[in-house]
Structure 1
Amino acid sequence: MDRFRPLALLAAAALTLSGVTALSSAALAADADLARNGGFESGLDGWACSAGSGTTVTSPVRSGASALRATPAGGDNARCAQTVTVKPDSSYTLSGYVRGSYAYLGASGTGTTDVSTWTQSAPDWQKLTTTFRTGPATTRVTVYTHGWYGTGAYHADDITLVGPAVDTGQPPAPPTGLRAGSVTSSSVALSWSAVPSATGYAVYRDGAKVQTVTGTSATVSGLAPSTAYGFQVAAVNEAGESARSATVTATTAQGGGGTPGLPPHALVGYLHASFANGSGYTRLADVPDSWDVIDLAFGEPTSVTSGDIRFDRCPAAECPNVESDAEFKAAIRAKQAAGKKVLISIGGQNGQVQLTTAAARDTFVSSVSRIIDEYGLDGLDIDFEGHSLSLNADDTDFKNPKTPVIVNLISALKSLKARYGDDFVLTMAPETFFVQLGYQYYGTGKWGGQDPRAGAYLPVIHAMRDDLTLLHVQDYNSGPIMGLDNQYHSMGGADFHIAMTDMLLTGFPVAGDQNNVFPPLRPDQIAIGMPASVNAGNGHVAPAEVVKTLDCLTRKVSCGSYATHGTWPGLRGLMTWSINWDRFANWEFQRTFDGYFG
């Protein structure tokens, strides 16, 4: 602004001579700083950072108490942006202070020429400034900062956009008439009266914003059974958010669906029933009583897109000690009589299943039902890997999936649940790539270039969350994954399991979108997936690290550097690949579980 001061003084002098000093003051007052929270004193309020790349820090700061720190990673340049209401055909000055290598400041959607300025190296705070003029029909402009790929974190502070202000009016009035409708063990339906001038509504649970909607109703899911929650709603328009409504309290139903007949803490394992490898064949009758859920691996498709699933038991030529069909079925009944659950697991590393058509969906339901009925099984485990699930480019809303392989899988699972009723056990074993990586990437339409499988399980988990008995994400064979602390975590110790599980129990914004939050799952739905031994897969951790993981999540001790967002003594337990490999390792994994949970 300093460089305009002589011109402003001349204008003021001229107007004073003509007797219209008041008009000069009004004209100057029309310029304002339109950037919201440009000093990041209110966290990231008003800003959206790509791939969850941004956070606020208390050091270094240029002024105030906070500044932005954003870290490029992979194919993401850590772009943090906000959209501002502007006047058409008007001049604006964008300024800000940055630190770090390759830090950029710019504006897009100007309606004329988009602008940016940057510095290659700023070891201390450096001011960046650029100007632009809006087009004759431009009313919204996006201002942004970003770094560059692979060059480390940058910092930004005191970002301003100075120019003619726009009267956006007043925020709407608070909503009235908030009431709770249908209640389940894990969800509460809410509705309220419409507010004039509101363009949307923010829903709060116990003081935390959990979702935004455009209508006058919402269902808040991912809740714990037999628990009281307080809900509020605020109305939103371009001028801002209203005060919150009066609080309505609702208590979820008892029990919680999806946990039929399991002990408070359960040990889940996969049994190599259709193949042999270096771990040796283990007869079902020889599986120790410590194992509460036994997943028979695997039912596989006759072709990738047929939907026709077959379960062929290991042939005697490969498994010399394999039991007969009669003995196998008798062992299933004996396990069930002892309170254990025996499931058919579909997929695995080699069993890709793509339900691309309604016909494949229906074949999947009928063929899986035949397996369940023939062996008298308790339910189904979905272990889709590879390219069984991936997202189309325009599929960016996990609550309303469009991709056929996902839509058809959800429909098939709902049909199986309806066929077998409340006692049907449904579990899922996705890799971290398919779930937690959704915190950074979801779909291909927004960012381009990343694998379309990233987060592809999220719509399936969300659609089935009220019927899902267990989610045991495979915390192994995984690359580094960013946690809710916006730090990358790698396999090999308790830290990885703590961070990945905390995301499931806390919920997280999908692809960094704070308005698109994946709700938390109940702790009784979570079993942490770990390899049983160093032979079983990458990511094996020593028993002491398993104990640290459980201590942190159930008692909030031994947490190390990661700060969890809660304490969950009701965490269901552990899953391992596999029972065979654990037997090969002298039952190390089983003994760790038994020693901890008794």
Structure 2
Amino acid sequence: MAGLLAAGGLVALTPAAQAADTELARNGGFESGLDGWSCTAGSGTVVSSPVHGGTKALLATPAGGDRAQCSQTVTVAPNSAYALSGWVRGSYVYLGASGTGTTDVSTWTQSAPDWQRLATTFTTGPSTTSVTIYTHGWYGTGGYHVDDLSLTGPGGAPVEIPGTPTGLTAGSPTSSSVPLGWTAVPGATSYRVYQGGSQVLTVTGTSATVTGLAAATSYGFQVSAVNSAGESPKSAAVTATTTSGGGGDPGLPDHALVGYLHASFANGSGYTRMADVPDSWDVVNLAFGEPTSVTSGDIRFSLCPAAACPGAESPAQFKAAIKAKQAVGKKVLISIGGQNGQVRLATTAARDTFVSSVSKIIDEYGLDGLDIDFEGHSLALNTGDTDFRGPTTPVVVNLISAVKTLKAKYGPDFVLTMAPETFFVQLGYQFYGSGPWGGQDPRAGAYLPVIHALRDDLTLLHVQDYNSGPIMGLDNQYHSMGGADFHIAMTDMLLTGFPVAGDTARVFPALRPDQVAIGLPASTQAGNGHTSPAEVNKALDCLTKKTGCGGYRTHGTWPGLRGLMTWSINWDEFDNRQFSRNFDAYDWS
């Protein structure tokens, strides 16, 4: 370290000599495993090869909506300069510092097939006493390596282990999940959630939802606070009991076929009488009950007139045919909405009108329940709901209330199904509400609060895996319609659960397999995304037996998957019953 001899014989020190810089990053070479580091979603591990220095290095792997961020909080001094560096391998690897009190910094490399050094500098603010240094990858990329990470500069006061969290409470459980919340702990950088003494989640916020639980079961939960100094003692335990479930109608067969019958209109598929619907169909959704106006809530249903539908039954014949179907165990529902039937229950008056008018249709025709087929702008706009677990948008709140009222009126045998588009469900994995992704249509994922609030009343969710653009699966790859992988990826998301808008503190809980059917068009004329019978069988094989899987790897095996839904019975008849015959022939064993 050299100084300069100034006039008058005084020595002027360089900035580097004005204060002693020290190494502040704890375990930056990962020789002590992950000691001092916290990696999101359990994404980090320590490997012995490849390494840049020493004998160990970090390997962190992005998965789902997680970027595999590993971080630690370091004490620093105010108004001081710091240098951050590290050696990395992989694609889209980031190194940065946040909470600097001035301008947070980061640097990255798009591709580092061999070890590459990343470096940046920052200056702390006048009251900054700690910063968080981190490294992360990117969605849809492979694992990345980090070694010899260093932060140098003036040291600050030592970090202390955070205090024990307080205020742990459990929200309203579902049959498979329990939401938790607690009070923030000063100095904590993350929290660990324990179920029955075993750690199940790590989150950075003060809420989490534990999923994958058994119905009608009591569970105990605790939470601890974590920072670079260590982990606090666990909080006092809170217990919660999952609900008994319900929704799955005992009158349905283990594997059911659901189809829409064009009862109120005519198109190129031809008219099919209710009495002529083949026995293959276990659930017949009458298409459609439609509103008198978008916002009225007043739903009407009329049979297709004989002039438009030659051979159409009289109302009396139609009702008799429904009773005959029910006598052999079939379910007949009124489907509300469709492509042209936009319904927006923006007021409580519209909600009440919806309940009374739908009840009138159910009673008149002696139906078994209701299918919600709201499309397009029916659920717009979802802005203002930043958490699907507690919706506030009137359109969503009123729909939930209306359906719960109908369920309570008709009792446990009431069949409730939903047929949303992938845009309104699986796209919530990337975008939800107004979220952090500016510019994305805020209706993305708009069905999630409806499904979540009604999951214990829901008999079947059959998302329309058609008329859809490419959708990202839990493998962070985009999947396109028409092949087995699309249906496998979309269904796997429903049966596994997924973080909403990339937020691991907001996990949409998995549905039960008996609540899920795959929605497809029955023929090439019925909609974009027609899937050949061979590809349909591949999807079923992979999901129920984990055999014959293609490029997508599921997170489980679900032999209890309920079945298939199609648009429509009429189009299947037009196509010589190719869809239903294939379902009838499929071997579920």
Q: TM-score higher than 0.5 here?
A: yes
Matched letter for residue 378 of structure 1: D
Once the two structures are superposed, residues 256-305 of structure 1 have per-residue CA deviations (whole angstroms, 9 ceiling, x without a partner) of: 44424211111111111111111111111111112111111111222222
Corresponding position: 1:33 with 2:25? yes
Q: Where does 1:435-454 land on structure 2 (aligned, <5 Å)?
A: 435-454=425-444
Corresponding position: 1:236 with 2:225? yes
Corresponding position: 1:167 with 2:158? yes
- Pick from 571, 578, 582: which aligns with 2:561? 571
- Pick from 460, 476, 481: which aligns with 2:466? 476
Q: Secondary structure at 2:326's aligned position in 1?
A: helix
Matched letter for residue 372 of structure 1: I
Q: Where does 1:90-489 land on structure 2 (aligned, <5 Å)?
A: 90-98=80-88, 105-117=95-107, 124-139=114-129, 141=131, 157-158=146-147, 159-163=149-153, 164=155, 167-170=158-161, 186=176, 202-204=193-195, 209=200, 223-225=213-215, 232-238=221-227, 241-242=231-232, 256-489=246-479
Alpha-carbon distance change, 547 to 393 in structure 1, aligned in 2, over 3 angstroms: same
Long gaps (5+) in structure 1: 1-5, 9-23
- Pick from 514, 539, 549: which aligns with 1:559? 549
- In structure 2, the partner of 1:526 is 516
Cα deviation, residue 90, structure 1? 3.5
Once the two structures are superposed, residues 221-272 of structure 1 have per-residue CA deviations (whole angstroms, 9 ceiling, x without a partner) of: 664547x686543322556545778999999677744424211111111111
2: CA distance, partners of 1:369 / 1:58: 62
CA contact (8 A) 1:98 1:154 kept: no
CA contact (8 A) 1:98 1:128 kept: yes
Q: Where does 1:67-106 land on structure 2 (aligned, <5 Å)?
A: 67-68=59-60, 84=73, 86-87=75-76, 88-98=78-88, 105-106=95-96
Once the two structures are superposed, residues 68-89 of structure 1 have per-residue CA deviations (whole angstroms, 9 ceiling, x without a partner) of: 56699xxx99796858454343
CA contact (8 A) 2:98 2:105 kept: yes
Between 186-195 and 117-126, report the one with greater CA deviation.
186-195
Alpha-carbon distance change, 508 to 161 in structure 1, aligned in 2, over 3 angstroms: farther
1: CA distance, partners of 2:568 / 2:75: 60
Cα deviation, residue 131, structure 1? 1.1
Report the TM-score, using the length of structure 2 for normalisation: 0.81
Between 88-97 and 335-344, report the one with greater CA deviation.
88-97
CA contact (8 A) 1:385 1:430 kept: yes
- Pick from 485, 505, 508: which aligns with 1:515? 505
Cα deviation, residue 106, structure 1? 3.9
Alpha-carbon distance change, 397 to 188 in structure 1, aligned in 2, over 3 angstroms: closer
Matched letter for residue 33 of structure 1: A
Alpha-carbon distance change, 117 to 185 in structure 1, aligned in 2, over 3 angstroms: closer
CA contact (8 A) 2:165 2:182 kept: no
CA contact (8 A) 2:88 2:117 kept: yes
Q: Secondary structure at 1:467's aligned position in 2?
A: coil
Once the two structures are superposed, residues 96-115 of structure 1 have per-residue CA deviations (whole angstroms, 9 ceiling, x without a partner) of: 34567886644444222343
Matched letter for residue 518 of structure 2: I
Identical-residue share of aligned pairs (%): 68
Alpha-carbon distance change, 450 to 89 in structure 1, aligned in 2, over 3 angstroms: same
Alpha-carbon distance change, 89 to 568 in structure 1, aligned in 2, over 3 angstroms: same
Between 117-126 and 429-438, report the one with greater CA deviation.
117-126
Cα deviation, residue 343, structure 1? 0.8
- Pick from 576, 582, 589: which aligns with 1:586? 576
Between 253-262 and 371-380, report the one with greater CA deviation.
253-262
Cα deviation, residue 118, structure 1? 5.0
Cα deviation, residue 93, structure 1? 2.1
Cα deviation, residue 469, structure 1? 0.7
CA contact (8 A) 1:39 1:66 kept: no
Report the TM-score, using the length of structure 1 for normalisation: 0.80
CA contact (8 A) 1:305 1:353 kept: yes
2: CA distance, partners of 1:538 / 1:459: 27
Q: Secondary structure at 2:311's aligned position in 1?
A: coil
1: CA distance, partners of 2:584 / 2:411: 31
1: CA distance, partners of 2:93 / 2:205: 36
Cα deviation, residue 374, structure 1? 1.6
1: CA distance, partners of 2:45 / 2:490: 22
Q: Secondary structure at 2:117's aligned position in 1?
A: strand
CA contact (8 A) 2:98 2:133 kept: yes
2: CA distance, partners of 1:233 / 1:126: 41
1: CA distance, partners of 2:62 / 2:174: 40
- In structure 1, the partner of 2:9 is none
1: CA distance, partners of 2:230 / 2:33: 17
1: CA distance, partners of 2:87 / 2:183: 44
Q: Secondary structure at 1:381's aligned position in 2?
A: strand
2: CA distance, partners of 1:42 / 1:477: 46
Matched letter for residue 458 of structure 1: L
Matched letter for residue 169 of structure 1: E
Alpha-carbon distance change, 426 to 130 in structure 1, aligned in 2, over 3 angstroms: same
Corresponding position: 1:543 with 2:533? yes
Q: RMSD over aligned Cα, in angstroms?
A: 4.5
CA contact (8 A) 2:382 2:443 kept: no
1: CA distance, partners of 2:211 / 2:492: 17
Alpha-carbon distance change, 504 to 77 in structure 1, aligned in 2, over 3 angstroms: closer
1: CA distance, partners of 2:224 / 2:158: 19
Alpha-carbon distance change, 266 to 244 in structure 1, aligned in 2, over 3 angstroms: farther
CA contact (8 A) 2:192 2:199 kept: no
Matched letter for residue 434 of structure 2: T
Alpha-carbon distance change, 140 to 303 in structure 1, aligned in 2, over 3 angstroms: farther
Cα deviation, residue 168, structure 1? 3.7
